[in-house]
Amino acid sequence: MHKVGCALVFALLAVIAASPARASCGMHAGEQVVLFGAGDDPMVLLWDSRFRLRAYHLASFDEIQALLPRALLASGGTRAIVLSCIPRYVQPRYALTLDDALYVRILSGALHGRSGWIIGSDAHVMH
């Protein structure tokens, strides 16, 4: 009986350790970052909700057109501070890995003072 109890405890610990809620973020609250989009376009979409951020990355062309009016466009090189992070929240189209969702406040540029959600890969730690 003792062996079965130990096996159950270890199985439970393995499930908890593998849980996405236990995954850590690549960025942490208070970190200052510079925003740069991936690929050829340095612009970054700043979303009004994390749900729209995730929906955008899974959407079809028509769905994207409906979602875009809810986003603001931040220029590449815009500075921001991370307020919150949800690890492995976004599944980018055509990617096999999940990305973090970051809630940031803009510190420079035309959107100074605005807050919103971005995909973690668009944020780079300032040195």
pLDDT tens by residue, 70-80: 999 999 999 99
16-41 tens-digit pLDDT:
444 444 579 999 999 999 999 987 88
pLDDT for residue 61 is more than 60:
yes
**What is the pTM assigned to this prediction?**
0.80
- Span of 19-28, 42-51, 77-86, 90-99 with lowest mean pLDDT: 19-28
Confidence label for 6 from pLDDT (cuts 50, 70 and 90): very low
**Alpha carbon distance 28, 95 (integer Å):** 23
**Alpha carbon distance 120, 89 (integer Å):** 10
Q: Helix or strand or coil: residue 47? A: strand
Structure tokens at 39: 């690929």
- Residue pair 100/53 in contact (Cβ under 8 Å)? The answer is no
DSSP 69: G
